[in-house]
């Protein structure tokens, strides 16, 4: 059984460019979460999906951010017109459906905006 995978693991981009990250959850998990982690801080919730439906978005998710999970399997997180403040680790987690299920995290995508 493979865990959560994320690609790419590292991304360096110039300010103003668009970037897209991919997350492949554990195969039987129907919930998928995105978090952002900045240096010295704990992860902060961004958004989550149950199957293909995006059920909640954090205020941290500005209009430049969009997430999709088109077939209820993998998910993508796109950041348009990147800013230096977007530099962070973007973490994806998945879980089974349940009232208080455990979230299992991927290795993250580390973004650096120059």
Partner 1 sequence: AQKVTQAQTEISVVEKEDVTLDCVYETRDTTYYLFWYKQPPSGELVFLIRRNSFDEQNEISGRYSWNFQKSTSSFNFTITASQVVDSAVYFCALSEWTGGGNKLTFGTGTQLKVEL
Q: Which residues bind partner 1 (CB under 8 A)?
A: 31, 33, 35, 40-45, 48, 50, 55-56, 89, 91, 93, 95, 99-108, 110
Q: How far apart are CA 66 and CA 79, in angstroms?
A: 7
∠ Cα 27 28 31 (to 5°): 95
Give least dist CB 71 to partner 1, A: 18
110's tokens: 């580390």
Give least dist CB 81 to partner 1, A: 26
Q: How far apart are CA 114 and CA 104, in angstroms?
A: 30
User: Whose structure tokens read 């089974």?
Assistant: 96
- Residue 73 or 80: the one with the smaller Cβ distance to partner 1 is 73
Q: How far apart are CA 4 and CA 58, in angstroms?
A: 22
- Residue 71 or 100: the one with the smaller Cβ distance to partner 1 is 100
Give least dist CB 42 to partner 1, A: 3
- Residue 92 or 113: the one with the smaller Cβ distance to partner 1 is 92
């Amino acid at each position: 059984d493979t865990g959560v995978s994320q690609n790419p693991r590292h991304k360096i981009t110039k300010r103003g460019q668009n970037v897209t990250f991919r997350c492949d959850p554990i195969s039987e998990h129907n919930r998928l979460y995105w978090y952002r982690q900045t240096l010295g801080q704990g992860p902060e919730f961004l958004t989550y999906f149950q199957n293909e439906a995006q059920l909640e978005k954090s205020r941290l998710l500005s209009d430049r951010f969009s997430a999709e999970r088109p077939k209820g399997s993998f998910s993508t997180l796109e950041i348009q017109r990147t800013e230096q403040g977007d530099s962070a680790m973007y973490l994806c987690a998945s879980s089974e459906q349940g009232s208080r299920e455990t979230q299992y995290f991927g290795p993250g995508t580390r973004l650096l905006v120059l």
